[in-house]
Structure 1
Amino acid sequence: MQNEGKEQQKAGGFFSSQNKRSEINEWRLGLGNEKESVRKDTVKKVIAAMTVGKDVSMLFTDVIKCVATNNIELKKLVYLYIMNYAKTQPDLAIMAVNQFERDSNHPNPLIRGLAVRTMGCIRVNKIVEYLAEPIRKTIKDKDPYVRKTAAVAIAKLFDINAEMAIEQGFVEALEELLTDDNPMVVANAVKALDEISSTSSEVILDFTEKTVKTLLAALNQCTEWGQVFILDALSNYQPKSDKETTEIAERVAPRLQHANSAVVLSAVRVINKMIDLISNENEKNELIQKISAPLVTLLSGNPEIQYVALRNIDLIVQSRPGILANNIKMFFCKYNDPIYVKLEKLDIMVKLASERNVDTVLMEFKEYATEVDVEFVRRSVRAIGRCAIKLERAAQRCVDVLLDLIQTKVNYVVQEAIIVIKDIFRRYPNKYEGIIGKLCENLDTLDEPEAKASMIWIIGEYSNKIENADELLQIFIDTFHDETSLVQLQALTAVMKLFLRRPNDTRDLIKKVLHLSTEESDNPDLRDRGYIYWRLLNEDPEAAKAVVLSEKPVIRDDSTNIPKTLLNELVKHIGTLSSVYHKPPELFVAGYKKKKSESGEDKEVEDYLREQQHQDAADRTTTQDILGLDDVLGMGTGAPAQDSGDLDLDDVLGVGSSQPQLQFSASTSANANVTSLVRPAPQKKLLLTADKSKGLQIYGAINRNARGGLEFLVTFENLSQQPITGYACKFNTNTFGFVPGQVQANGIMPGQKTDGIVPILPGNNESDKVSPLIQVAIKTDLGVAYFADSIPFSALFIENGSCDRDTYLTLFQSIPDETESTTDAPNASAGNASALISRLQAHNIFFVADHQDAGLTNYYFSAKFNYGTEEVIALLEIVVSANSPQCKINTRCAETQFIPFIEQDVARIVSLTF
């Protein structure tokens, strides 16, 4: 125990460095010491410093000399250092190539495998050129560990240089490994081929019947992750006969009892596919029963496993509705379930609800409506309404339960019940209007925009049956300017309905609300609707009746709203991130080869996914003004958007300009093998401390997501003594007129954290002040707090910002020379043109051309951003010297006020410290 404590203390000492100037010299001496133990301890110190973020690249030459050793521990440390710094020191990394090649022939198989694995991890083209020969040797190595490592290295090589991997015959070598006598090698070869085929149109994973038998034989001898690899590959195989289909299902079925949940889900995926291919109904039913029990068993794991299982079960229940109908009680929520698990269980219970079990389900939902978590209570009440919409015969029982909940007089329960009952009225018109009186008793307690809007809709829709409808609507008209736009729109329509049915009694009311909507409102949607109603009434009251009082389409059950084509695609990916996100992999996996639908239903899928991505925008009006009047940071002042003025066309195009021509080189070799990088996730920083917000601490960063939308990535930390159950957000007027979408975050108990997203949406509250700063007000149960953050200007660059050389020249000439600005960028990625271009392209800054002259290389880039209703283009010239890491950035932009912010962010991107 004492020795163990000393070792731990010694290991901890490697991370206690104080970054003294003399350290580098001490480490350099230690790395050159003759004693191997001294060199090993010194390398550990260097690795520790590298781990905590210190730059120790200046020791590259000294560390690399230590690689020539038979000590495996020291060799691993040196290889780790090389992998970390090879991208920034590609020329120096070449020094290690000879040692890599020697190690690939070393008598020790661990060192042979380590050498090949390390070379595969160094994603530098100069190193890749030397990787072919070691792979060719080790792929046929007598040791299975070396062979399986070589299989993985081929996949990495293909990702870096696919053409080389194919030309060298490495893909065929992988296919030969599928018949290897070692199951570990087979599993890694299968995984490597699967990775390659998912990103390449040239390589297709197509097994033969003999290969499948080999995989099934290896299945029982693999490690648990090897089994996952094989099962994932089998899920893509199309059996040639019923007999083969049945055999595969039987051989895979024992994996359903595995302790690893990933193996279970992969086995479920394979068997689920085989079920569709079997023609015998009895065999189908047997297999369905086999996969149902393991799915339920997964719910006994930890919360994270439960969540993944529930997301997969959600898909399976939609594709096979009756599979878990008898196990609905297994989805009842436990008191200690996390909120994300409870919400998934609610959704699945709604999908499994039937006339046979609806009473049990309703009692369970009613019990949940008495919980303390407000979000869970709301979703439970909403689940009752979904059951009513789904099951017509059970609708009355659902309404009775909702009325019982209304009698509790709990404010948020009552309001959610009213929202739900509005949907029931839309599903079953003129059937349950007898309960409207009980709803109106709670009119004074409504304070949420959606609940108010729902109640107004009910009054307006049934205004012919409510005698005092005008008095009830007058309540909302009296506070019209204080209401959100959602409530105002509903009030306008409800009064219009009332007037068309009882014109003599409500003439003054309709005049008042039309005046408020058109003359005193700055909301364009409200004004437009008011003017339409006004003109309809002036031109043809009968036409107004036909439009406003027309029969509405009946809403339908949305519990299985995923399009069939998308659902079938997602079921094929059970056990992967795709099944957790409920999105096809091509949406979030860079380079994934999308498989086009042959049924012509791609448009339906795209529409659904687009609706899911932008549903926050649809809910924007419910939260845009939730913070109240104009007292929050001076927001919502109603000032109209400022016109940027008309531009002279001749000035824009530079007609008649006598400016000198830019000269581009004919070669654009720097762009030859550039792959578009994924935009790096921004680092969150502390934006709001707990002492300034009664206990709420906020970390955040502004990001441009893969869909081209802006979002605030936030982490809420509750350092108060009370739970936080809801959020509302608002922005002050800002340069680009951005407004927040609905805050997507869970409630948190004291001492807890939660991650969330605030979509940043286009709006009309532009400010004349030019600044990337966004001032934010956030409202929670603790009150209103304020903070601010700056938008990285590169996040504003849109995806269609590329242009050709001729267009670049024309635009360059159209912008006066005196507007050009120059700044220096230290530590730029100047030594690697491909890396520089890729890094900028990941931020939508697109390479146009390059020009070399007298040791300098000029790279020309274009980028676009939206300002008002216009697309503004920025032209960049980055001048790189072969002898200096520093570069110059020249910027031209018609909107000159943004040039300093563009320069600052581009310099940040090209910097190595970024």
Structure 2
Amino acid sequence: MSIKLRDLIRNVRACKTAAEERAVIAKESALIRTAFKDQDKQYRHRNVAKLLFIHMLGYPSHFGQMECLKLIAANNFSEKRIGYLGLMLLLNDQEEVLTLVTNSLKNDLNHVNPFVVGLSLTAVGNIASPDMARDLITDIDKHLKSDNDYLRKKAALACVRVFRQVPELVEDFIDPIHALLKSRNHAVLLTGIQLIIELLIIDHEGHIGYFNSIVPTLVKELRNLLSNNYTPEYDVSGIVDPFLQVNILSCLRLLGKDNDEASEAMNDVLAQVATNTETSKNAGNAILYECVSTIMSIQSESGLKVLAINILGRFLLNRDNNIRYVALNTLSKVIADDAPAVQRHRNTIVDCLKDPDASIRQRALELIYALVNETNIQSLAREMLNYLVVSPNDQKPALCSRIADAVERYAPTQRWHIDTLITMLSITGSSLTDEHISSSLIVLIQKNPDMHVYVVHKLFWALKEDMSQLALAHVTLWCIGEYGRALGQDPPSGEETLQGKTAVDDNAIVDVLTMSMRHPVATDVTKAYGLTAAIKLTSRLHDPEALSALNQLISSYKNSLAVDLQQRAVEFNSLLEDRWDSIRGEVLAPMPVIDMARVRTRQSQSLSITAAPISTSSDFDKAPAPAAPSTSNTLLDLDDIFGGGAKPAPTLAPAAMPPTVDILADIFSAPSAQPAAPTAPAPVNDIMGMMSTPAVQPPGQHIRGYEKNGLAMDLELSKPNPNDPSITYISCMFTNASTYQLDNFVLQAAFPKYIRLIMDPPSGTVIPANMGGRLTQVAKIQNTCYGEKPIMMRIKLEFTINGTKIEDMATISNFPSSY
């Protein structure tokens, strides 16, 4: 016996386990199948209704599709209603069975009962395919011009689906769409405006010309809504039809974008909305938010933009978390338009860092990062460091990267810059896996010799207090090795952070060095830094007991299971033998100041270790073609960019080359896990990886090729062969300042026919959020018309963000003439 829907719901809710629920659903599904097979017409609508509930729970329900079509063809309204509901839930526009329902829809669109017509219009608005839209558009148009307001609003919503499926039909329905705006019924007016909004979103450039003339109509309607007295039918919390007001504002935003005349026409009414809307209820806040979005999107007056930002400032004081979040999110978008106005609310934004809600703290932090400039860097950096203490561990690396970037750009003094980075590493050095910040601090310390005594003392006492912060330990060990002799001097007087501290004796230095290397959290990288510091200290300390302890420390790693540590210990131990006395001082001399420009150039030139260097024109001819073209490295021509035209030439695959050796690996990177290839015996100077290398090509020019919604593409140009200026390396570096990670990233590049191209593989397919890393890819080109024709580049970017695939194209034509 078939049970009722309410009994099925009761039985499912009574289940204690998932297995019990599956058993109930399986039994009921079997009974429904049997009823369908037996052509049970009496309870068909009940069975379909139960099937819809089963579908909502995620169980198979496709076997009921044909029964929905039978219900639609029935004469009874209640059966039709269940049939149409099942049609919209169980089918989509890709189902072949959908073609069978077109005739039933056409019949119902001409039904004498307006509620049956409404059901069919609703179905069209949800599942219409392109073919169905073309077949039914005439009947929909009839209802779009109807005198029945109920059918007009349903027809307008159906048209949204129709025009999405078949955009070319729009131009035949401009007059009926305009007629919707003359209706005095708010429902018809609301759906008509929604239809216009959808058309502008589908193709703003193509449709904007059809609707520029409606701006005065919308402005008049909005002004009427603001001035109308209490109307019970449309009143929401004392505000007249906030839904219609929000829709009108959304439409005005699209119409006023890049349109000075339309923007001028709506400025006054926007000011009226911003000043006269009640903010004590959510309905008023929704209108104000949409008003602010409209003001910031159109060509509005500066005073109006300040008013909009002040509204967002008031939102920040609201007790509702959602309103504060929306305000922070909107301020992040508008700061580029009027930064001084946003700066006036800086204190309120900073207070949001103390909010219990993590999402609000994160948004406030991003906004603070955008607010940083030369005048407020010290106060905002302090607030960001305070937030760093309580931030989740997974966010700390990205946050440290942002703080370091802001401090580097706006630091008032080198001393403050160094102190801030040391404080940051003291707070969260254990969370930093990237050595970039540590290496930057080392370079900064190197460049300021007058502060070496102060910095080494500060780092020494900070490390002694907390050895668990690995990034801090690495910087400290490096500085102790280089400037350990300064610890024997008294720290500079008048330093608050070093009050009560005195000169450090040699044995205390060795004790801290030993404890940091043997600390439970110490890694092989930490021990490598420590061994290098130990061998350096043998030439900087004088106490015999301390020197003996250093020798024992180095020797203790001669049998280490880590190959790198073992090799260091053996080589360092050999260096301490008497036979090397004559050159030991030179080998252990302080490191010269590191030229980061040369380091970055070397890194960019060795991004792809599988690519052979292309230095002559013939190398482009010698490069073999791949077996199958790669989707991520596409060679195209400007005549047939990204589809159309001739078939793209296959990408040239570069030959393999041995990996490049980084002479600064001891300082900035982790020990390599790969065994070294056999080489000839190296001179003693090469023990610590400090021998000079062949001259590196000076860094080339940098240009910004693309920037949109937080994604930036920087190009670094270099000439690998001075004798052949036609060859250029273009290192494409992508960074992501948005809060969302970009996945499945693909770069496609196109050049004119006179430019020959070899694309190296990318360094990855993911660009982390919040500037947490970068993706790089190198293009090697030869301009066969060098000196006659410039370099031009067309790019296509593809990536996935939050499950949504995004594509964008851009042209880069600002290459320097010398390239």
- Which TM-score applies when normalising by structure 2? 0.54
Structure 2 counterpart of 1:505: 585
1:315 aligns with 2:333: yes
Structure 1 counterpart of 2:751: none
Structure 2 counterpart of 1:437: 457
Secondary structure in 2 matching 1:324 = helix
CA contact (8 A) 1:385 1:420 kept: yes
C-alpha deviation, 1:63, in angstroms? 3.1
Structure 2 counterpart of 1:285: 303
User: Which among 151, 169, 174 is matched to residue 146 of structure 1?
Assistant: 151
Q: Report 1:162-177 matches (<5 A).
A: 162-163=167-168, 165-166=169-170, 169-170=172-173, 173-177=176-180
User: Which among 745, 753, 756 is matched to residue 707 of structure 1?
Assistant: 745
Structure 1 counterpart of 2:104: 99
> 1:357-388 CA distances to partner (integer Å, 9 max, x unpaired)?
66765665565455485567778777765664
C-alpha deviation, 1:500, in angstroms? 15
1:41 aligns with 2:46: yes
> 1:380-428 CA distances to partner (integer Å, 9 max, x unpaired)?
777765664454448766766777788xx77758989998787567679
User: Which among 14, 25, 28 is matched to residue 18 of structure 1?
Assistant: 25
Structure 2 counterpart of 1:78: 83
Q: What is the distance in 1 between the residues matched to 2:89 and 2:116? A: 19
CA contact (8 A) 1:194 1:205 kept: no
Assess, with a 3 A threshold, how the Cα gap between structure 1 residues 380 and 534 changes in structure 2: closer, same or farther.
Answer: same
Q: Report 1:194-209 matches (<5 A).
A: 194-200=197-203, 203-206=206-209
1:294 aligns with 2:299: no
CA contact (8 A) 2:257 2:263 kept: no
Q: Report 1:829-868 matches (<5 A).
A: none
User: Which among 328, 342, 346 is matched to residue 361 of structure 2?
Assistant: 342
C-alpha deviation, 1:28, in angstroms? 2.5
Structure 1 counterpart of 2:160: 155
Q: What is the distance in 2 between the residues matched to 1:189 and 1:534? A: 82
Matching residue's letter, 1:435: V
Matching residue's letter, 1:266: E
Assess, with a 3 A threshold, how the Cα gap between structure 1 residues 28 and 334 changes in structure 2: closer, same or farther.
Answer: same
C-alpha deviation, 1:306, in angstroms? 3.8
Assess, with a 3 A threshold, how the Cα gap between structure 1 residues 564 and 28 changes in structure 2: closer, same or farther.
Answer: same
> 1:451-477 CA distances to partner (integer Å, 9 max, x unpaired)?
455546666887997889x98999799
C-alpha deviation, 1:543, in angstroms? 6.2
Q: What is the distance in 2 between the residues matched to 1:439 and 1:233? A: 56
CA RMSD of aligned residues (A): 6.3
Q: What is the distance in 2 between the residues matched to 1:742 and 1:509? A: 40
1:233 aligns with 2:254: yes
CA contact (8 A) 1:33 1:39 kept: yes
Q: What is the distance in 1 between the residues matched to 2:84 and 2:335? A: 48
> 1:527-582 CA distances to partner (integer Å, 9 max, x unpaired)?
79x99x999979x999659879x9x99xxxxxxxx98985xx75xxxxxxxxxxx5
CA contact (8 A) 2:744 2:766 kept: no
Assess, with a 3 A threshold, how the Cα gap between structure 1 residues 81 and 240 changes in structure 2: closer, same or farther.
Answer: same
Q: What is the distance in 2 between the residues matched to 1:414 and 1:22? A: 56
CA contact (8 A) 2:274 2:291 kept: yes
Larger Rg: 2
C-alpha deviation, 1:53, in angstroms? 3.2
Matching residue's letter, 1:505: G
In structure 2, list runs of 5 or more residues that go unmatched.
14-20, 226-240, 489-505, 541-581, 592-661, 713-729, 748-762, 778-796, 799-804, 806-819
C-alpha deviation, 1:23, in angstroms? 0.6
Structure 2 counterpart of 1:253: 274
Assess, with a 3 A threshold, how the Cα gap between structure 1 residues 404 and 154 changes in structure 2: closer, same or farther.
Answer: closer
Q: What is the distance in 1 between the residues matched to 2:213 and 2:765? A: 57
C-alpha deviation, 1:336, in angstroms? 5.3
Matching residue's letter, 1:269: S
Structure 2 counterpart of 1:217: 220
Q: What is the distance in 2 between the residues matched to 1:204 and 1:354? A: 41
Structure 2 counterpart of 1:58: 63
CA contact (8 A) 1:103 1:115 kept: yes
Secondary structure in 2 matching 1:707 = strand
C-alpha deviation, 1:136, in angstroms? 1.6
Q: What is the distance in 2 between the residues matched to 1:266 and 1:333? A: 22
Q: Report 1:420-431 matches (<5 A).
A: 429-430=447-448
C-alpha deviation, 1:45, in angstroms? 0.9
Matching residue's letter, 1:344: R
Q: Report 1:246-645 matches (<5 A).
A: 246-247=267-268, 249-254=270-275, 259-260=282-283, 263-274=287-298, 277-278=300-301, 284-285=302-303, 287-298=305-316, 300=318, 302-303=320-321, 305-331=323-349, 332-333=351-352, 337-352=356-371, 361=380, 364-365=383-384, 367-368=386-387, 371=390, 373-374=392-393, 388-389=407-408, 391-393=410-412, 429-430=447-448, 432-433=451-452, 434-443=454-463, 445-446=466-467, 450-452=471-473, 454-455=475-476, 504-505=584-585, 507=587, 522=672, 544=693, 566=707, 582=710, 608=734
C-alpha deviation, 1:288, in angstroms? 0.5
Secondary structure in 2 matching 1:53 = coil
C-alpha deviation, 1:19, in angstroms? 1.6
CA contact (8 A) 1:228 1:266 kept: yes
Q: What is the distance in 2 between the residues matched to 1:208 and 1:45? A: 46
CA contact (8 A) 2:474 2:529 kept: yes
> 1:2-59 CA distances to partner (integer Å, 9 max, x unpaired)?
xxxx99767545776432274135543897444xxx4443321121122223333333
CA contact (8 A) 2:159 2:195 kept: yes
C-alpha deviation, 1:244, in angstroms? 2.7
Structure 2 counterpart of 1:812: none
Matching residue's letter, 2:368: M
CA contact (8 A) 1:155 1:192 kept: yes
Q: What is the distance in 2 between the residues matched to 1:507 and 1:759? A: 36
Matching residue's letter, 1:330: T
Secondary structure in 2 matching 1:204 = helix
Matching residue's letter, 1:205: I
CA contact (8 A) 1:343 1:376 kept: no
Q: What is the distance in 1 between the residues matched to 2:104 and 2:395? A: 60
Q: What is the distance in 2 between the residues matched to 1:68 and 1:79? A: 10
Q: What is the distance in 1 between the residues matched to 2:275 and 2:38? A: 55
Matching residue's letter, 2:331: I
Structure 2 counterpart of 1:909: none
Assess, with a 3 A threshold, how the Cα gap between structure 1 residues 202 and 328 changes in structure 2: closer, same or farther.
Answer: closer
Matching residue's letter, 1:159: R
Q: What is the distance in 2 between the residues matched to 1:514 and 1:243? A: 62
Matching residue's letter, 1:348: L
Q: What is the distance in 2 between the residues matched to 1:322 and 1:272? A: 15
C-alpha deviation, 1:252, in angstroms? 4.8
C-alpha deviation, 1:65, in angstroms? 2.1
Give the paired residue count: 572
Secondary structure in 1 matching 2:135 = coil
CA contact (8 A) 1:453 1:487 kept: yes
Matching residue's letter, 2:260: P
Q: What is the distance in 2 between the residues matched to 1:67 and 1:527? A: 75
- Which TM-score applies when normalising by structure 1? 0.49
Assess, with a 3 A threshold, how the Cα gap between structure 1 residues 287 and 22 changes in structure 2: closer, same or farther.
Answer: closer
> 1:700-729 CA distances to partner (integer Å, 9 max, x unpaired)?
xxxxx55359xxxxxxxxxxxxxxxxxxxx
C-alpha deviation, 1:64, in angstroms? 2.2
Q: Report 1:767-806 matches (<5 A).
A: none
Structure 2 counterpart of 1:188: 191
CA contact (8 A) 1:174 1:189 kept: yes
> 1:186-222 CA distances to partner (integer Å, 9 max, x unpaired)?
4434443443444448833236664101122344454
Assess, with a 3 A threshold, how the Cα gap between structure 1 residues 146 and 452 changes in structure 2: closer, same or farther.
Answer: farther
Q: What is the distance in 2 between the residues matched to 1:547 and 1:476? A: 39
